[in-house]
Amino acid sequence: MSQESTPAPRGTLEGLRKFWKHDILSGFLVFLIALPLCLGISLASGYPAIAGIFTAIIGGLLATFFSNSELTIKGPAAGLIVIALGCVTEFGFTGGADPAADMQAYRLALGVGVAAGILQILIGMFRAGILGEFFPTAAIHGLLASIGVIIIAKQFPLTLGLDSKGEPLELLAKIPQFIMEMNPIVALIGIISLIIMFGYPLIKSPRLRAIPAPVVVLAITVPLGMYFDLGEERTYSFGGHDYPLGANFLVNVPKNMFSAITFPDFSGLGTTIALKYIMMFALIGSLESLLSAKAIDEIDPWRRKTNQNRDLAAVGLGNTLCAFVGGLPMISEIVRSKANIDNGAKTRFANMSHGICLLVFVALLPGLINQIPLAALGAMLVRVGFRLASPQEFLHMYKVGREQLVIFVSTIVGVLATDLLIGIAIGIAVKAAFHIFNGVPLLSLFRLRVSIEQREKDGVTVAVRDSAVFSTWISLKRKLEPLKSEPRVVLDFSETCFVDHTVMERLKEMENEFKDNDSTLVITGLDQHQKLSNYATAGRKRSRIR
């Protein structure tokens, strides 16, 4: 009997009793991946290293009981590094030059985090999570890829033992200079870490692949750092040049984690800086979390569905508490969630198990954490950034359609040249411009024309006129969702001039949702439309009017 046909495990007391062995084992294995990533993400965000640990612990111990998402892992995400670092920087973060200013910037950012968490709770309570579906697919991919580029630009110098101050495009242009000026001992540790992280997918042995790559990196680089006395304040000569070593090249967490609890400062909430970052944390964080939860639902062996609004409210509650004690913002994190599935997790108690493991480890073995080289963490984040901005992403967008590639690249350039909000707005504007060029009436970008009627032969027919594009998808979805109880629903596009890629992509997901409800969604009326590429869900433009 397949897993899909057996009763789905649930995060109840019965589920805990029945599946605790699976969930504890998976939670432990996810903890091994999460520990270095939490530390690296915190430091890359301009927060203390312990901040990401606080977030993952709260995400495991609190969000588990408020969300119904069975397999997602809650914790800090690389996708929010850019926002977090931007927030503390605009509040006066100096990167260690002035510790008092850095602490004040950190506390002001925590105040922003509390407000953003409350906003996320409200979004979930008022069932506004669907707003995440407004954004066009290519612009979302461009946003994530641009975040990946920024992470690479910021972390590559740290991997070589150098400073990473500067704008992303400036840092990318200086890569040859960084290679020439690298700190040899630190760079050796960083380069070994990069080789492991990038070479790991090439390993064929299932037994070796079962050991997470970050664990292998730490197993090699921590002893290597000890061998070179990386934390000893000194200088050494190599090739006629002097290079520094010292504690600043290692992770620094307090021996008593509770002494690191930091409370927010709300005095900055009335500033334009705070308002901007409240919106960015809430908007981008919610969008990433919703997308991750949806992606994990698709690969859940039992195809359990997350209540998006409930999950978003749970994330918002977790974020509010995290910011109150000094933590980073959290989301439903996709990489750790995928590992959770691969490790055999059955219920949400695997998320709780990973949080408990982090709590115990940091409480009992902080000295071991303080032996982790920052260059190793930087290499892990370079790999994360590369995964977000992989050349495969560019190739995928080209296959979807050349216009999608233009939207994708426009969003990346917009983000790198300005910021995340303006960048994604540029992507949306380019998408709208393409639609108008393809004959979409201007009004139909804002208004969906649709009629619903019952037909004896076809069942319920939903006829769309003018166009079906990303900006009217939410309206179309709201028309279709109440019809899932119908045995057969026909979606007729014969009177449209254009159906875009975002709508086609999301209709593919909705077909599966109808199927899960023992219903059928049939899409018709596209025989007069020409695909913009050979991709299955490419946009469709009507080639001739009948």
pLDDT in tens, 50-102: 999 999 999 999 988 999 999 999 999 999 999 999 999 999 999 989 999 99
Burial-class residue 275 by CB neighbours within 10 Å (0-12, 13-18, 19+). Answer: middle
Structure confidence at residue 441 (pLDDT) = 94
Q: How far apart are the first and last CA of the chain?
A: 50
Average pLDDT of 284-291? Answer: 91
What is the C-alpha to C-alpha distance for residues 428 and 431, in angstroms, rounded to an integer? 5
pLDDT tens digits, one per residue of 222-281:
999 999 999 999 999 999 999 999 999 999 999 999 999 999 999 999 999 999 999 999
Angle value at C-alpha 442, between 437 and 448, nearest 5 degrees: 120
* pLDDT at 141 > cutoff 90: yes
Average pLDDT of 496-502? Answer: 96
What is the C-alpha to C-alpha distance for residues 467 and 448, in angstroms, rounded to an integer? 8
Question: Closest Cα to residue 384, out of 34, 26, 25?
Answer: 34
* pLDDT at 387 > cutoff 90: yes
CB 505 within 8 A of CB 535: no
Burial-class residue 240 by CB neighbours within 10 Å (0-12, 13-18, 19+). Answer: exposed
What is the C-alpha to C-alpha distance for residues 150 and 166, in angstroms, rounded to an integer? 11
Structure confidence at residue 419 (pLDDT) = 87
Per-residue DSSP letters for 416-435? HHS-HHHHHHHHHHHHHHHH
pLDDT band at 133 (very low <50, low <70, confident <90, very high): confident
* pLDDT at 3 > cutoff 60: no
Cβ count within 10 A of residue 2 = 7
DSSP state of 329: P
* pLDDT at 147 > cutoff 50: yes
- What is the distance of C-alpha 81 from the center of its chain? 10
Structure confidence at residue 336 (pLDDT) = 94
Beta bridge partners of 455: 459
CB 328 within 8 A of CB 55: yes
* pLDDT at 5 > cutoff 70: no
Q: Which helix (H) or strand (E) holds 232?
A: none
Q: What share of the chain is helix, strand, coil (3-state, %, to 5)?
A: 65, 10, 25
Structure confidence at residue 440 (pLDDT) = 94
Q: β-pairing, 520-524 with 488-499?
A: parallel
Structure confidence at residue 125 (pLDDT) = 92
Cβ count within 10 A of residue 450 = 18
Q: Tell me the average pLDDT of the chain.
A: 93
Backbone angles phi, psi at 451, to 5 degrees: -130, 145
Buried b (16+ CB within 10 A) or exposed e, 247-271: eebbbbbeeebeebebebbeebbee
Q: At what angle do helices 137-159 and 391-400 cross, to 10 degrees?
A: 170
Q: Is 239 helix (H, G, I), strand (E, B) or coil?
A: coil
Please report, rounded to a whole number, the percentage of residues in the chain having pLDDT higher than 90. 84
- State both tokens at 172: 């990318």
CB 317 within 8 A of CB 158: no
Structure confidence at residue 351 (pLDDT) = 96
Please report, rounded to a whole number, the percentage of residues in the chain having pLDDT higher than 70. 98
* pLDDT at 317 > cutoff 90: yes
Domains in the chain, ordered, with CATH?
8-152+245-373 (no CATH), 391-437 (no CATH), 442-542 (3.30.750.24)
Structure confidence at residue 493 (pLDDT) = 96
Structure confidence at residue 546 (pLDDT) = 45
What is the C-alpha to C-alpha distance for residues 290 and 306, in angstroms, rounded to an integer? 9
Structure confidence at residue 456 (pLDDT) = 66
Average pLDDT of 167-196? Answer: 96
Buried b (16+ CB within 10 A) or exposed e, 315-328: bbbbbbbbbbbbbb
pLDDT band at 450 (very low <50, low <70, confident <90, very high): very high
Distances (CA, A) of 90 to 83, 178, 274, 522: 11, 26, 9, 51
DSSP state of 322: H
Residues 6+ away with beta carbon under 8 Å from 408: 138, 139, 141, 142, 145, 393, 394, 397, 427
* pLDDT at 457 > cutoff 90: no
Structure confidence at residue 294 (pLDDT) = 86
What is the C-alpha to C-alpha distance for residues 450 and 468, in angstroms, rounded to an integer? 10
* pLDDT at 321 > cutoff 50: yes
Q: β-pairing, 540-542 with 488-499?
A: antiparallel
Average pLDDT of 307-331? Answer: 95
- State both tokens at 47: 């927060």
Structure confidence at residue 386 (pLDDT) = 96
Burial-class residue 67 by CB neighbours within 10 Å (0-12, 13-18, 19+). Answer: buried
* pLDDT at 2 > cutoff 50: no
